């Protein structure tokens, strides 16, 4: 039968090379026996439409041949849980190492600027991609070697015997953010926030409240704070007013037990704004000379060094604040996902 | 196919997979070739696609549960399969396990339907 021959020919093309003849011969014998029986029951050969319908119900040649292929994995089910665990650890520590390396490079290296910082941040996905790719490649190679008997990893097989209940970590503390706050805690936040705001508003008239004896030293020195610090200062004041307002609203509306976590994230994000003002200062001029015309020649170099180190310190602070923000956002997303999956939890 | 139908189909295939192996092993206590095996299973109410049954025979042979032999019958070369001694042993164990699971499920269903029993 021409149609059956054409079908078997197509199946053959998708079979493992070394078993093509054997499998096709067996398939042919079985299918021809089936065909003979059909035709004997009908008392005539199958018509073209009947033959096509019969061949069609066998499934496409690719589908038929696929069942003869051994199951193939890039990383098999035995190795996959270990791969996933190692991948998580590798990604976490790679990002941590990259952040530490970048911060150290900025502190010790050449003049860091906004473009270099942005470049460093944009490199994070590449680092993640490289680590994930190498990790996957390494495990795929292990899987390949294990399945072909090139290496034997006996410790992977009885994985369940490698652990003991005694070494399980102790019960983790409940996330403090999820614990309901007491009324006293909420009142204390408002009262402290109010005094903190008062203290902040007094600083321009009484700098010693912030700097202590440093205020006298700064006053006597040839240096003074650059105008950008006023922007920084008013941003901090505004942030404290917003926070005090939120805390007061929580108290008045009776929602102090579980403050909305998004507010916490938004507030942290707003905290980056004053840092951005400081980091955006031209030539890192955070301190300036009181009398540039007189002192520039003798004190200009010292001023540049001080400004550079103050600027680098603020880069470190901004990096830490950004990492905290990302971490909090990730935690918030994870909790939201968990709550959506288990609404009654 | 709706989502529920798709889910049912997946679960049905999962449920059938192990049972098919057991049925094939049971039939091959007597020597058969692919087509007669398929017919015998269908006569017993277990219809299996060609694309499922014939590769399954190859896998069971690779695992050492079946032995095969090419032989001429009715002027046509056919590959006959039957259980190996190891296959007979495994079949007996699987059959016992299947009886045990079947009895447990029946017991669970009876208890759930009529808890006072």
**What average pLDDT does the segment A103-112 reach?**
68
**What average pLDDT does the segment A249-264 reach?**
75
Partners of residue A71 in chain B, C-beta under 8 Å: none
Please say whether the beta carbons of B79 and B33 come within 8 A: yes
Query: Is the pLDDT higher at A107 or at A135?
Result: A135
Considering only A162-176, A325-339, B72-86, B99-113, which range has the smallest mean pLDDT?
A162-176
- CA dist B61 and B63 (Å) reads 5
- 3-state SS string over A112-145? CCHHHHHHHHHCHHHHHHHHHHHHHHHHHHHHHH
Strand partners, A287: A225
Task: Count CB-CB contacts under 10 A for residue A278.
Answer: 22
Q: What is the DSSP letter of A197?
A: H
pLDDT class for A345, splitting at 50, 70, 90?
Answer: very low
Of B54, B76, B77, the CB nearest to A27: B54
Q: Which of A2, A30, A46, A24 is nearest to B50 (CA)?
A: A30
pLDDT, tens digit, for every residue of A143-178?
888 877 777 665 555 455 666 777 777 776 655 555
Is B51–A67 a contact, with Cβ atoms under 8 angstroms apart? Answer: yes
pLDDT of residue B30: 93
Mutate to test the interface with A, among B38, B47, B48, B54 (most CBs of A within 10 A): B54
Provide the ipTM. 0.79
User: How many contacts, defined by CB atoms under 8 Å, are there between A and B?
Assistant: 47
Q: How far is A48 from chain B (nearest CA, A)?
A: 21
Of B35, B51, B52, the CB nearest to A33: B35
pLDDT, tens digit, for every residue of A15-73?
988 888 999 999 999 999 899 888 888 889 889 899 999 999 888 999 889 888 877 78
Partners of residue B76 in chain A, C-beta under 8 Å: 29, 32-33
Alpha-helical (H) ranges within A14-79 are 20-42, 48-57, 61-66
* pLDDT at residue A103 greater than cutoff 90: no
**What average pLDDT does the segment B99-108 reach?**
93
Query: Is the pLDDT higher at A83 or at A2?
Result: A83
pLDDT class for B57, splitting at 50, 70, 90?
Answer: very high
Mutate to test the interface with A, among B35, B40, B76 (most CBs of A within 10 A): B35
Please say whether the beta carbons of A59 and A9 come within 8 A: no
Q: How does the average pLDDT of chain A come out, rounded?
A: 83
pLDDT of residue A173: 63
Residues with Cβ within 8 Å of A246's Cβ and at least 6 positions away in sequence, in order, are A259, A263, A267
Percentage, residues of chain B above pLDDT 70: 96
pLDDT class for A133, splitting at 50, 70, 90?
Answer: very high
* pLDDT at residue A113 greater than cutoff 80: no
pLDDT of residue A176: 56
């Amino acid at each position: 039968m021409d149609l059956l021959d054409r079908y078997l020919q197509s199946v053959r093309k998708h079979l493992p090379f070394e078993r093509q003849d054997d499998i096709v011969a067996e398939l042919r014998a079985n299918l021809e026996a089936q065909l003979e029986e059909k035709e004997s029951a009908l008392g005539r050969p199958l018509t073209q439409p009947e033959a096509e319908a019969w061949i069609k119900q066998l499934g496409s040649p690719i589908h038929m041949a696929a069942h003869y292929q051994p199951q193939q994995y890039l990383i098999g089910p035995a190795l996959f849980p270990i791969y996933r665990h190692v991948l998580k650890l590798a990604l976490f520590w790679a990002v941590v190492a990259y952040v530490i390396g970048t911060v150290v490079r900025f502190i010790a290296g050449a003049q860091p600027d906004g473009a270099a910082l942005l470049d460093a941040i944009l490199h994070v996905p590449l680092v993640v991609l490289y680590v994930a790719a190498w990790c996957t490649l390494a495990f795929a190679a292990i899987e390949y070697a294990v399945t072909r008997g090139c290496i034997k990893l006996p410790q992977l097989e009885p994985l369940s015997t490698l652990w003991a209940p005694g070494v399980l970590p102790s019960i983790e503390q409940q996330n403090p953010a999820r614990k309901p706050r007491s009324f006293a805690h909420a009142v204390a936040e408002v009262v402290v926030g109010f005094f903190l705001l008062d203290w902040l508003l007094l600083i321009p008239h009484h700098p010693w409240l912030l700097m202590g004896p440093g205020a006298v030293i700064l006053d006597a020195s040839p240096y003074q704070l650059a105008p950008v610090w006023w922007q920084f200062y008013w941003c901090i004041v505004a942030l404290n007013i917003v926070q005090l307002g939120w805390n007061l609203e929580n108290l008045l509306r009776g929602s102090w037990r579980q403050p909305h976590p998004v507010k916490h994230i938004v507030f942290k994000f707003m905290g980056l704004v004053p840092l951005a003002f400081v980091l955006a200062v031209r030539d890192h001029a955070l301190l300036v000379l009181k009398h540039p015309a007189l002192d520039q020649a003798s004190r200009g170099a010292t001023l540049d060094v001080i400004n550079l180190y103050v600027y680098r310190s603020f880069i470190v602070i901004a990096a830490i604040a950004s990492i905290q923000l990302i971490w909090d956002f990730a935690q918030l997303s994870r909790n939201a996902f968990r709550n959506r999956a288990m609404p009654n939890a | 196919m709706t989502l529920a139908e798709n889910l049912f189909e997946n679960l049905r295939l999962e449920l059938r997979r192990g049972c098919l192996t057991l049925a094939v092993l049971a039939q091959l206590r007597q020597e058969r070739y692919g087509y007669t095996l398929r017919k015998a299973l269908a006569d017993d109410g277990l219809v299996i696609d060609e694309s499922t049954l014939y590769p399954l025979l190859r896998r069971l042979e690779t695992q050492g549960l079946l032995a095969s032999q090419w032989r001429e019958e009715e002027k046509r070369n056919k590959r006959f399969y039957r259980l190996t001694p190891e296959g007979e042993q495994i079949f007996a164990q699987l059959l016992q396990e299947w009886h045990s699971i079947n009895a447990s499920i029946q017991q669970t269903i009876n208890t759930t339907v009529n808890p006072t029993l």
